[in-house]
Every structure is written in C-alpha cells, then in structure tokens.
Amino acid sequence: RRGFEPRHRLLRAAELRRYRGAPGDPGLYLALLGRVFDVQRGRRHYGPGGAYSALAGRDATRAFATGDFSASGLVDDVSALSPQELLSIQGWLSFYSDNYKPVGKLVGRFYDENGAPTEALREAEAAIEEALKFQAESEQRKQQFPPCNSEWSSAKGTRFWCSTQSGGVSRGWAGVPRKLYRPGSKGSGCVCVRSTGPPWGHPPSSQHRDRGDLDNPHLEEYEGCPPLAEQCVLPG
C-alpha cells in the first residue's frame, strides 16, 4: 500500500476505459486490486501495440496471476486463485507501488462508492496474507530440511546425497538423507537432516540429545542405507 492515499480520486469503469493511451485519450492507466496507477512512463509496454496493452484502461487483476489475456481472463475476479497466484498478484502490486504513480481507486469489486474497501477486497487481502504466511513457513521448512541432490541411472538406480549446497540452501552442514512425510501429503520427499546439535529452533542444552533433527517424527530412514551416511543408493 506504499504511496497509496485514500484522498486520491474515484474512477468508474467507464471512465477508466478512456485511459488506454490512444490518440485523444487523457492518459494511460491500469488498475490492480482496484488501485489505479498511471503507467504513462511504461507506454511502450502498456500503450497501443504494447505487449501488455490489454491491461490498460481496466482492472484485469486475474490476468496478472494467470497470464490469461483472453476476454474471460482479463477480469478482476481473484476467487479460486492458488496461493502461488495470489503471491504473484502481491508481487505485481509491490512493483506498481514502487515504480508508478497511484492516481485513484476503481469503484466496483474492491472499492465502494465512497472509496471504502469492500468485502471482496478484505477477502483477497486476507488470502494474500495467508499465502505470505505459508510462503514464510515453507521457506523455514526448506532451511530446516533442504532437499537432497538426486540422480538416477538404469545401472545403479537412484542416488540421494547431501552437501552444504544441496536443495539450493547454503549452510554450514551437509546432513544425511531421510524421507520426509508432510502432514496432509500422501507421499514423501528426500531431505537433508542435521545429525548433530540441538533440534531446529532449540538452543544448545543438556536436555537435548546431540542428534540434530534426526528424531523428528515426520522423518524415516531409507532402508538399506547406513543411518549417518551422507548418501544413499537405492536399486531399481
């Protein structure tokens, strides 16, 4: 919401359609979640003939997430979008807030006649907040349990191994491969698990065994793999 003030003017859909950057138009605007931005400085992208000209003069929030520029996709309905798609909308909103001038609010789905947020906007913002929370939790899980490296060959089968860079997570420990079962998921994935020190999130203490996260109840050893080996080879 940076740079967006409630004193800015209210526009209706018919008025916003006049701002598509064509000759004689008063300007070049687009709306995202009901917030209207002046995108004149990005005219080569949003003006007539530009790659994103379909976004001009309307609120096509859904298309920012889905990439669907058809008539049915260029709409402001964000219901049923996935958390990842909602995060995409949040990312675009930050981009426009940082790079373009906010000029008003669009009366309709997200703002009422007085410029006050509607229930649809509150629901969308709550869903985005939930998606941001889920993203933060996922990143924390990835730091705790980075994915293994893996490779397969018909001769040797599947090899899982851990390093200080596996899973794209730089760290001071390599870890050992384990199956991780996530709540609500039927399958498992290979992750690297710290085998020394206190469990994740706990300070060093004599109350904890020096086994890192090996005792986490959602983990399972690979059959036939030495418990503390940094790699496992599974035939087949």
Residue 118 lies in a domain: yes
Total number of domains constituting the chain: 2
Residue 115 lies in a domain: yes
Same domain as 160, residue 119? no
The DSSP bridge partners found for residue 31 are 36, 59
Angle at 82 between CA 135 and CA 128, to 5 degrees: 55
pLDDT in tens, 17-66: 999 999 999 999 999 999 999 999 999 999 999 999 999 999 999 999 99
The answer to whether 213 and 144 have CB atoms below 8 angstroms apart is yes
Entry pTM: 0.69
Same domain as 153, residue 72? no
Same domain as 135, residue 21? yes
Domain that holds residue 180: 145-234
Q: What is the mean pLDDT of residues 96-109?
A: 97
Same domain as 122, residue 150? no
Same domain as 215, residue 134? no
Residue 2 lies in a domain: no
Higher pLDDT, 5 or 93: 93
Q: What CA–CA distance (Å, rounded) separates 20 from 187?
A: 49
**CATH for 122:** 3.10.120.10
